Structure 1
Amino acid sequence: MSKIYLSKSTFIKGLQCEKSLYLHKYHSNLSDDTNLQQQAIFDRGTRVGELAQQLFPGGVDASPRDYTQYFESIKDTQKLIKDGVEVIYEAGFCFNNVICFIDILVKKKGRWYAYEVKSSTKLTDVYIIDASLQYYVMQNTGLDIANISIIHINNTYNRFGPLDLKKLFNFVIVTKDAINNNNYIKNKLLELHSVLAQKSIPNIAIGPHCTTPYNCDFKGYCWSHVPEYSIFNLSRLNKKIKWTLYGRGVMDLSQIPLDANLSDNQKIEIDSYMNQTEIIHKIKIRKFVNSLSSELYHLDFETYQSVVPYFDNVKPYQQIPFQYSAHYEHNQMVAHSEYLAKDSLTDCREDFIKNLIRDMKQDGDILVYNISFERSCINELIRCFPQYQSELLAIIDRMKDLMLPFKERWYYTPKMKGSYSIKYVLPALVPSLSYDCLEINNGNLASLTFANIHNVTDEEEVGVIRKNLLEYCKRDTLAMVKILDVLKSI
């Protein structure tokens, strides 16, 4: 029987769920497809790791060329150590059928200092266990490790001038934790190797571990028995209560016991689902509609985030608005205006502000969907560009939230499936208008697409991408127009 090897990632997967580890090793065909957002997270980690290498210049890269070259990489690492190389990137080690690659390995005064790089802004328990495993493997290969540290993003760093890597990153020494976790790591490795030696898939039920600390990539397989609309869709229901109900055999909303501690809105959802009826509070909806001015804007922003701030007065992961769409209603006429920045490497925030102020020049309320988002974006713009404070605050003062009637369950249908997101509200109220036909059909995809548009060299392709971005954002505000029309008809 061939040896079964664990890596850092499979070890963490096994800690989260032994069934997931087993499926990954022997039934990987059952895994969910990797989506663009997951791939973006992987790519981001790679970029941050490469950037951190600049803190220790002149190193030699020992990383494997592909997944079949792990042991060649480990041999290369040993040769580099023997040859006196003092900075090694992606140094590979193997002990007791466990393979790990340390992001940066540095020799100082005869001892080695190991650094694991994370693109997160927080030091988590998982990262400490991650580093503890690497420390365990390296120490047991005979390497003299003076310290092991985690390098992670400093979210308080506000860029001004050239990128300062020493301020962008935080260094946290976790050697004591790694030493204290030694026996835990050793025992867990024995357990996980024992799991992988089994002849059948471990019988582990779904639970909170399916999404903590990471979303499992076998959720589609393990959750296949859960209805499309179940207790897990019931809005604002505490996770602990959901899993307690599931443990009692409750999945369908009709099975929820009478003694369950539910809010009024949750009871509305259940009643609507069980009777397949719409819940419409006409008086409250009419009051909301009547509170709106006759001249009215429908406004929507799109934003992106970058772990590395590309320009001044930007922090890691700061939400940067790059696009808006506005539909303006007056005297039964609807006009449209829009803005889309050049790319994510160009600071277009001031241009965004100037266009927004110009396009919001008419009187009247400004209707948004989820007011906290647009409000926070504008407040951040005010922080960065205080010279536009009065105009931007005036825009905030005119804002009203179209999400309110749906969040408060003044209007609810079973088709909304417990959500008040516009992506659920629109098909429930206006089934003829959809996002499905669009190339870009959700905000995450729009954000990722724009963030990477500077990598596209073909001008024709760039034009198509920009057209798709504009169509998506325009659909958001057109959806708001149509949703409000439905509310007006009540």
Structure 2
Amino acid sequence: MLAPPRHILSKSTFIKGCQCPKALWLYKHQPDLRAAVSNSQQAIFDQGTSVGKLAEQLFPGGVDARPVDTYSYQQSVVDTFNYVKEGHKVIYEAAFQYDQVLAALDILVQKRGKWHAYEVKSSTSVKDTFLQDAALQYFVITQAGLPLVDFSIVYINNEYERYGALDIDQLFTVESVLEQILELQPQIAAKIPELKEVVKQKASPSRAIGPHCSDPYGCDFMDHCWQHIPEDSVFDLRGHGAGARSFELYEQGILHLKDIPDDYHLNSSQALQVQCHKSGEAHIDQQALTEFLDQLEYPLYFMDFETYQVAVPEWDGTRPYQQMPFQYSVHRQDSPGGDIAHFEWLAPSGADPRKAFLSNLLAALGTEGSILVYNAAFENSRLNDLAYWFPRKAKAIEALQERMVDLMSPFRSKHYYLPAMKGSYSIKQVLPALVPHMNYDELEIGNGGDASTAFYQLQFEKDASVVEQTRAALLRYCAMDTEAMVRVLEKLNKV
């Protein structure tokens, strides 16, 4: 078999084109307009690759047809053809091409003379987009001349709880989707020539922004296509139904929050957001704030956790994608206006952090006084996990939970709202609105996703100076979260 010509469409570009033809055209003709991939997004991509490799153990002894680089897939097509011809029963990263459409498959297996296709996903269920993926793969593979008797999605079983050695058969769920993708074959056959024509166009297709910009995937050309959207736009609306309302207003020619008609149908929270934006004034429910503040008991503790999650559970008693706490920061104030003490802990990389995290946390929080957190549901869930893992500490953990107060509450309820919060009650938005000189922009690590990625990757870092720098950045970030709560509470006390 001779190597086929360079493909026009691949699985990823086909899916991109189905979501938005303009995005497909830009990807092919103006790739420099794409947004850079964030560290946390790259970590998700890398995890997907690792999960795919791990799933190969379900079908051991295969030959590898993956290309040496992304420009060598046509050689993979040739290699796959030869492996099939030579009688190999299991082929990893099998590649096929038909009518200049390329489709690579994670695992191809022959059982009793019949071919079965397996596509691996790091998700915990079969999503609609996976079916479209699989339908294209099935179309290309079968049209290229290899009949398939079944097509399955292999995905993570999030009910698997690890004890001892990793159980590959329990980690993965294999689900046939043949029936669903057969129904999609006419759509695939019709869409391919349509998207090939898009790629051949000399000019970008005209496509207005819309919900498709983030559904089913966030588009990496949004910065380009959305550059005409001003500050304080209708897309800053927050809360239930905000997305649909924003696009409805946009399609009516309304771009700015200040131009939203007073009689436009908004929920109460959105109406308050727009009203405050138009007036430039704060909204303060003094009675509700007083009730919130009156419940606090000194000494006050301001607590924040950082966690990471991985598809493949690392430690006994853990499940896929379960949040692993690896760091905390605690600020303590013994009396109103008193000095602030700081306590922090960061796990060593590559080791089970849970036991040391809990013992250090319990020591830092004492036995009395309110514990302020921002988004109590998150910290409560992590503490529940710790109580499950360490049942002898369950009563001590429950005692902590009974002392917890959610500092997010008055902002979520709009008992205190400023126009600068832009409808959000995230600490990242509330803090600079209340304390303008404090924000996360100057931090090397400035959000939880990057913190999670940075900590997890430390175990693979060989440069001691990079490790030291990253650990210092992690400590600064987590400390910023609890100091932010201290300063936010100070502002509430002065209202």
TM-score w.r.t. length of structure 2: 0.96
* Counterpart-to-counterpart distance in 1, 2:466 and 2:37: 24
User: Counterpart of 2:480?
Assistant: 475
User: Counterpart of 2:292?
Assistant: 288
User: Counterpart of 2:131?
Assistant: 128
Quick check: 2:239–2:269 contact (8 Å CA) kept in 1? no
Q: Answer with 450-459 or 256-265: which moved more.
A: 256-265
User: Counterpart of 1:199?
Assistant: 202
Q: How far does residue 199 in structure 1 lie from its aligned partner after superposition?
A: 2.5
Q: How far does residue 460 in structure 1 lie from its aligned partner after superposition?
A: 3.0
* Counterpart-to-counterpart distance in 1, 2:109 and 2:6: 31
Match 2:314 to one of 310, 313, 321? 310
C-alpha RMSD of matched pairs (Å): 1.5
Match 1:190 to one of 190, 193, 197? 193
What secondary structure, in the 3-state scheme, does the structure 2 residue paired with 1:54 have? helix
* Counterpart-to-counterpart distance in 2, 1:386 and 1:353: 12
Match 2:418 to one of 402, 407, 413? 413
Q: How far does residue 237 in structure 1 lie from its aligned partner after superposition?
A: 4.1
* Counterpart-to-counterpart distance in 1, 2:330 and 2:400: 13
* Counterpart-to-counterpart distance in 2, 1:96 and 1:320: 47
Letter in 1 for 2:185: N
Quick check: 1:116–1:131 contact (8 Å CA) kept in 2? yes
* Counterpart-to-counterpart distance in 2, 1:58 and 1:3: 30
Q: Answer with 191-200 or 151-160: which moved more.
A: 191-200
Q: How far does residue 459 in structure 1 lie from its aligned partner after superposition?
A: 2.6
Letter in 1 for 2:464: E
* Counterpart-to-counterpart distance in 1, 2:195 and 2:224: 21
Match 1:278 to one of 271, 282, 293? 282
- Written as runs of structure 1 = structure 2, the 5 A alignment for 1:208-219 is 208-219=211-222
Q: How far does residue 104 in structure 1 lie from its aligned partner after superposition?
A: 0.6
User: Counterpart of 1:338?
Assistant: 344
- Written as runs of structure 1 = structure 2, the 5 A alignment for 1:66-105 is 66-105=69-108
* Counterpart-to-counterpart distance in 2, 1:280 and 1:100: 57
TM-score w.r.t. length of structure 1: 0.97
Q: Unpaired segments of 5 or more residues in structure 1?
A: none
Letter in 1 for 2:66: S
CA deviation map 1:112-156 (0-9, x unaligned): 111100000110111011111111111111112121111011111
* Counterpart-to-counterpart distance in 2, 1:4 and 1:109: 32
User: Counterpart of 2:23?
Assistant: 20
Quick check: 1:298–1:326 contact (8 Å CA) kept in 2? yes
Letter in 2 for 1:279: H
* Counterpart-to-counterpart distance in 1, 2:440 and 2:145: 57
Quick check: 1:278–1:411 contact (8 Å CA) kept in 2? yes
User: Counterpart of 1:64?
Assistant: 67
Match 2:269 to one of 265, 270, 274? 265
* Counterpart-to-counterpart distance in 2, 1:444 and 1:187: 39
Q: How far does residue 362 in structure 1 lie from its aligned partner after superposition?
A: 4.2
CA deviation map 1:145-187 (0-9, x unaligned): 1211110111111111111111111101112222222111100
* Counterpart-to-counterpart distance in 1, 2:465 and 2:231: 40
User: Counterpart of 1:106?
Assistant: 109
- Written as runs of structure 1 = structure 2, the 5 A alignment for 1:441-480 is 441-480=446-485
What secondary structure, in the 3-state scheme, does the structure 2 residue paired with 1:455 have? coil
Q: How far does residue 280 in structure 1 lie from its aligned partner after superposition?
A: 2.6
User: Counterpart of 2:370?
Assistant: 365
Q: How far does residue 4 in structure 1 lie from its aligned partner after superposition?
A: 5.9
User: 1:178 aligned to 2:184?
Assistant: no
Letter in 2 for 1:407: R
Quick check: 1:136–1:178 contact (8 Å CA) kept in 2? no
Q: How far does residue 420 in structure 1 lie from its aligned partner after superposition?
A: 1.0
User: Counterpart of 1:168?
Assistant: 171
- Written as runs of structure 1 = structure 2, the 5 A alignment for 1:361-400 is 361-400=366-405
* Superposition misfits of 4+ residues, deviation over 4 angstroms: none
* Counterpart-to-counterpart distance in 1, 2:389 and 2:263: 51
Q: Answer with 217-226 or 458-467: which moved more.
A: 458-467
Letter in 2 for 1:319: Q
What secondary structure, in the 3-state scheme, does the structure 2 residue paired with 1:57 have? coil
* Counterpart-to-counterpart distance in 2, 1:115 and 1:209: 28
What secondary structure, in the 3-state scheme, does the structure 1 residue paired with 2:88 have? coil
User: 1:44 aligned to 2:47?
Assistant: yes
What secondary structure, in the 3-state scheme, does the structure 1 residue paired with 2:149 have? strand
Letter in 1 for 2:257: L
Q: How far does residue 198 in structure 1 lie from its aligned partner after superposition?
A: 2.3
Q: How far does residue 261 in structure 1 lie from its aligned partner after superposition?
A: 2.2
Quick check: 2:299–2:332 contact (8 Å CA) kept in 1? yes
Match 1:319 to one of 323, 330, 333? 323
* Counterpart-to-counterpart distance in 2, 1:282 and 1:87: 69
* Counterpart-to-counterpart distance in 1, 2:269 and 2:206: 36
User: 1:432 aligned to 2:437?
Assistant: yes
User: Counterpart of 2:152?
Assistant: 149
* Counterpart-to-counterpart distance in 1, 2:391 and 2:18: 48
Q: Answer with 237-246 or 220-229: which moved more.
A: 237-246
User: Counterpart of 2:427?
Assistant: 422
Quick check: 2:23–2:221 contact (8 Å CA) kept in 1? yes
* Counterpart-to-counterpart distance in 1, 2:386 and 2:101: 48
* Counterpart-to-counterpart distance in 2, 1:415 and 1:101: 48
Q: How far does residue 3 in structure 1 lie from its aligned partner after superposition?
A: 6.9
User: Counterpart of 1:251?
Assistant: 255
Q: Answer with 265-274 or 11-20: which moved more.
A: 265-274
Letter in 1 for 2:55: A
Q: Answer with 403-412 or 110-119: which moved more.
A: 403-412
What secondary structure, in the 3-state scheme, does the structure 1 residue paired with 2:58 have? coil
Percent sequence identity is 45
Q: How far does residue 18 in structure 1 lie from its aligned partner after superposition?
A: 0.9
* Counterpart-to-counterpart distance in 2, 1:208 and 1:375: 33
CA deviation map 1:230-264 (0-9, x unaligned): 22221204032222222212221122223322233
Q: Answer with 41-50 or 140-149: which moved more.
A: 140-149
What secondary structure, in the 3-state scheme, does the structure 1 residue paired with 2:291 have? helix
Q: Unpaired segments of 5 or more residues in structure 2?
A: none
